[in-house]
């Protein structure tokens, strides 16, 4: 099976804690890039980045800058009021209209991941109270990528994972604590990454 090089996380209501749990399970040697679209207020004063930096995440967490390189083991967060997209090893930002009232939008990020990474992408839909990410996750799956959905029964808000499962029934359903370890497996070892 192809090794996953890009992990795209999408979260909304209750997402910060969920993201923290997932990132907390990734070792410092994690060989894939993690990109994150978390719904946040447009002014960006939600302290999201500070919060994630404070958590015991072994990886370097930064807010995306346009065209920055996406290196293995980096965690890149969509800035408030921007869409984050990926393209051949680089981040790309846009201020296109919000999609379903959201900028950043999970669908936009996932759609770009599907197009640029194909079966080397994994998409993960976490807790949330809307349907963002459902369309994008289906795109990732259609391109041969890996689809993971947080178990709606255990999510703080079940709407978003449920919508993702509806659009991508073949997605793997995991409890929050199992997602990090599953990603570690999908991304393989640093040695695999060098090959």
Partner 1 sequence: MAVRVNDDVQEARERLEIELLLEGIQRAYGYDFRGYALASLRRRLWHRVHGEGLETISGLQERILHDPSCMDRLLRDLSINVTGMFRDPNFHRALRETVFPVLRTHPFIRVWNAGCSTGEEIYSLAIALHEEGLLDRARIYATDIDEAALQRARSGAFSMEHMQRYTENYLRAGGRDEFSRYYSADGDVARFDPALAEGTVFAQHNLVTDGSFNEFQLIVCRNVLIYFGRELQEAVLELFGASLTRFGILALGRKESIRQSRHAGAYEPLVESEKIFRRRS
Which residue number, 115 or 162, has a Cβ lying nearer to partner 1?
A: 115
Which residue number, 119 or 156, has a Cβ lying nearer to partner 1?
A: 119
Instruction: Tell me which residues touch partner 1 (CB under 8 A).
Output: 63-69, 79, 82, 85-88, 90, 92-97, 108, 111-112, 115-116, 118-119, 143-144
Phi/psi class of residue 155: alpha, beta or left (left: φ > 0; alpha: ψ in -120 to 50)?
A: beta
Q: What span, in angstroms and rounded, lies between the C-alpha atoms of 159 and 29?
A: 33
Burial (0-12, 13-18, 19+ Cβ within 10 Å), 138:
buried
Give yes or no: 12 in active site: yes
Give yes or no: 54 in active site: no
Q: What span, in angstroms and rounded, lies between the C-alpha atoms of 50 and 44?
A: 11
Closest approach of partner 1 to the CB of residue 77, in Å: 11
- The alpha carbon of 123 is separated from its chain's Cα centroid by a whole number of angstroms, namely 6
DSSP 134: H
Which residue number, 38 or 150, has a Cβ lying nearer to partner 1?
A: 38
Does residue 146 contact residue 165 with C-beta atoms inside 8 Å? no
Give yes or no: 132 in active site: yes
Closest approach of partner 1 to the CB of residue 16, in Å: 20
Closest approach of partner 1 to the CB of residue 78, in Å: 10
Closest approach of partner 1 to the CB of residue 118, in Å: 4
Q: Which of 83, 102, 105, 132 is catalytic?
A: 132
Return the active site residues: 12, 39, 132
């Amino acid at each position: 099976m192809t090794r996953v090089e890009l992990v795209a996380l999408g979260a909304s209501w209750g997402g910060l804690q969920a993201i923290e749990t997932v990132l907390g399970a990734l070792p410092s040697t994690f060989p894939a890039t993690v990109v994150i679209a978390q719904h946040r207020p447009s002014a960006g004063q939600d302290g999201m980045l500070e919060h994630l930096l404070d958590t015991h995440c072994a990886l370097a967490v930064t807010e995306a800058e346009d065209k920055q390189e996406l290196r293995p083991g980096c965690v890149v967060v969509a800035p408030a009021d921007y869409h984050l997209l990926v393209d051949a090893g680089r981040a790309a930002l846009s201020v296109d209209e919000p999609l379903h009232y959201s900028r950043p939008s999970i669908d936009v990020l996932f759609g770009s991941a599907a197009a640029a990474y194909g079966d080397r992408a994994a998409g993960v839909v976490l807790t949330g109270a809307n349907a963002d990410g459902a369309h994008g996750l289906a795109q990732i799956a259609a391109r041969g990528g890996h689809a993971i959905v947080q178990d709606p029964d255990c999510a703080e808000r079940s709407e978003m994972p449920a919508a993702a499962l509806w659009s991508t029934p073949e997605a793997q359903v995991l409890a929050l604590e199992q997602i990090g370890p599953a990603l570690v497996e999908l991304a393989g070892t640093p040695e695999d990454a060098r090959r």
